[in-house]
Amino acid sequence: MTTPIFAANWKMHLGPSGARRFIRTFLDTVPQSRDRECWFFPSAVALEAVAHEARDRADITVGAQNVHWEAKGAFTGELSVPMAREAGARAALVGHSERRHVFGETDEDTGRKVRVLLDAGLVPMLCVGETIEQREAGETLAVVARQLAVLDGLPPARVAAVVVAYEPVWAIGTGRTATPQDAAQVHAAIRASMAGRGVDAAVVRILYGGSVKPENIRALMAEPEIDGVLVGGASLHAEAWSGMVQVHVD
């Protein structure tokens, strides 16, 4: 059984002072655990603050919300992998739907980021998922397969280091959530795709994201195919998030 991941994507919320207060409250509320991991993806300006506050907790991983594939250069507003790592990041989100659909990032961009993160020893959390139009057209599995194709050509050991997050675009921030059974079906397809790349399917960790909240997290985590959750809005409230990460996991 893989260790479940409870990941918080704070998006464009919480600057350094707010992030410090949040993490201090979290540390006071949630004891260190050996049977689960908690990952935080704060804003770039709060990354170092969160990493510093959580430095003594082995069950906490801090990551960047986005990185650029170049190590340095004239890329105003971007964050390089070496910079993120120096600030304390040990992981990074890649291919989040907001990066794809709001900022126009391509599968090629995503693939470049996956590779530079792996080269640097950071864990890519690769986000995949379909729009409502694609779902209604029956294209969900084809879309997810195309997005996973950025892993083509990587040796199995490197593919195994990638965490995948299935986030149906139509469920992110909308209040709509895929049923646990629907999510499990897509997760099973992702697991099969990873196994087809030579990876032991039992070690692959696949998270679900999309309007995850205290009311539905138990049902989602009860599905054997779901290895954790990637949470947006509900992770911004320290008390609610503290309760979510301590939900019982079979």
Q: What is the per-residue pLDDT across 97-116, written as a single tens digit (0 to 9) for each?
A: 999 999 999 999 999 999 99
Lowest-pLDDT range of 99-103, 175-179, 199-203, 239-243: 175-179
Quick one: what percent of the chain has pLDDT higher than 90? 89
CB 209 within 8 A of CB 232: yes
Q: Is the pLDDT of residue 180 over 70?
A: yes
Contacts of residue 66, defined as CB under 8 A and 6 or more positions apart, other chains included, come to 44, 79, 92, 93, 96, 99
Query: Is residue 210 pLDDT above 80, yes or no?
Result: yes
In 121-237, which residue ranges form alpha helices assigned H by DSSP?
132-136, 140-148, 156-159, 180-195, 217-221
Higher pLDDT, 247 or 230: 230
Domains and CATH numbers, the chain: 5-245 (3.20.20.70)
The per-residue pLDDT for range 39-84, each reduced to its tens digit, is 999 999 999 999 999 999 999 999 999 999 999 999 999 999 999 9
Catalytic residue among 96, 105, 187, 223: 96
Is 52 among the catalytic positions? no
Indicate which residue of 98, 167, 223, 225 is catalytic.
167
pTM (2 decimals)?
0.95
